[in-house]
Structure 1
């Protein structure tokens, strides 16, 4: 009977791995714990636990009774989760303006994300730079989730973006050069750039600005106009607000 269930679970694991297009390093593996007499489906990245559980129950409802599911994350997925958490702007800051998050926070953020992969080449390069630094000279997938998250939390993203070789946008290049101490933490940690107005003014005030920096500042002119328009609208609303209320109450 046990052998029959073992065969069913192995076939099911293979079928689900095929269904979700999982490669050799991601595929679902059935593991048996002789001490607890429990079977567990284990896999890396790939679909979410709920997706696999739902598909498994649909295919073999009797064989998967009591089956446990354990989804693990590769170093790249953990680094990606940390990058996206930092860039999301949803993390709370302490009294010193620093953000804190743990490997548990990252796992929770990835829990409902199927097949966590970089969205573009720039994000891939950033993740690769983080993982390379975390592994050091110890080989692939050496670093723990805790070590990767701690590295990102303590160093921030700007250092790894620079190391990655990814091309910076004009405003990012100017931020990296001119960001003030007031905004340095936001740039260093979360890649939050200066405003177009701040960046343009910084180049304008710098007599030693290079041709490349001047070109980057000029590329911001359309964005600068948009920021000024929004600022003007906000000021107009502030100026008109109290008087509008007062005139309305006098009628």
Structure 2
């Protein structure tokens, strides 16, 4: 079979065209003279497992074609954003270790370059821009610089808006009340958690911080007032649980 590999070229190219149309991802056939084999290669898009299954279903001839997916900087940086928020990016392993970790995370993820929301898309674009050097005719983002930036500065600085969400704002871009109060008032571990992973303060802590502010902004006041129903429900739940627990200690 190996001696006929070059003659299989037209069939492999037609197969690549069909898969390109099916998965809406450019898939290119490449012939390796040394290994005397064909490989289909693409960036991001479907997983290797998905393409391998399609090849096996296309007949024994196609099943011998190899499949390889490469990841773009965009996909890797987006994964770094998500892993940072999940607390799974470790600065100590270095850039190669970080890349290996991200590649393992993305191995079974289709179309890893696609953000899940407008906010995530805006954060990704800000990070890619910050990781792009101004020099060069065609500047491109440096994934290692992107890793370093989020390891050093976290991800809160990438948020597309610092304003409290209002009736006319896209809910995923502007800050929700608890996010706004956390961004404004968080200190200590709460500040670290917000900057590195967008973890918000407890509702009671956030409202108390706004209440203790001698001159809260109108947005801070609106955010705190908007959280009062949630805080009231939490406190009522705590009171009910305390009453139930303590009542059990009293003989009938």
TM-score (norm 1): 0.80
- CA deviation string 1:97-142 (max 9, x = no partner): xxxx822222222222212311221111011111111123254644
SS of residue paired to 1:36:
coil
Quote the residue 1:41 is aligned against. 40
* In 2: Cα distance, 1:120 partner to 1:207 partner: 36
Gaps of 5+ in 1: 95-100
SS of residue paired to 1:31:
strand
Measure how far apart 1:224 and its partner are.
1.6
Measure how far apart 1:172 and its partner are.
1.2
Quote the residue 2:153 is aligned against. 155
Quote the residue 1:50 is aligned against. 49
SS of residue paired to 1:102:
helix
Aligned length: 231
Matches within 5 A, 1:1-251: 1-22=4-25, 27-65=26-64, 67-88=65-86, 91=88, 102-116=98-112, 117-137=114-134, 139=138, 141-144=140-143, 146-161=144-159, 166-232=173-239, 235=242, 243=249
**CA, structure 1 residues 4+93, in 2 after alignment: closer, same or farther (shift >3 Å)?**
closer
Measure how far apart 1:151 and its partner are.
2.8
- Aligned-residue RMSD, C-alpha: 2.8
Measure how far apart 1:11 and its partner are.
1.2
* In 1: Cα distance, 2:148 partner to 2:105 partner: 16
TM-score (norm 2): 0.80
* In 1: Cα distance, 2:89 partner to 2:142 partner: 26
**CA, structure 1 residues 53+93, in 2 after alignment: closer, same or farther (shift >3 Å)?**
closer
- CA deviation string 1:142-170 (max 9, x = no partner): 423x4433332332110111579931112
Quote the residue 2:167 is aligned against. none
Gaps of 5+ in 2: 92-96, 164-172
- CA deviation string 1:171-198 (max 9, x = no partner): 1111111001121111111000111111
* In 2: Cα distance, 1:6 partner to 1:174 partner: 61
Measure how far apart 1:32 and its partner are.
2.3
Measure how far apart 1:28 and its partner are.
1.0
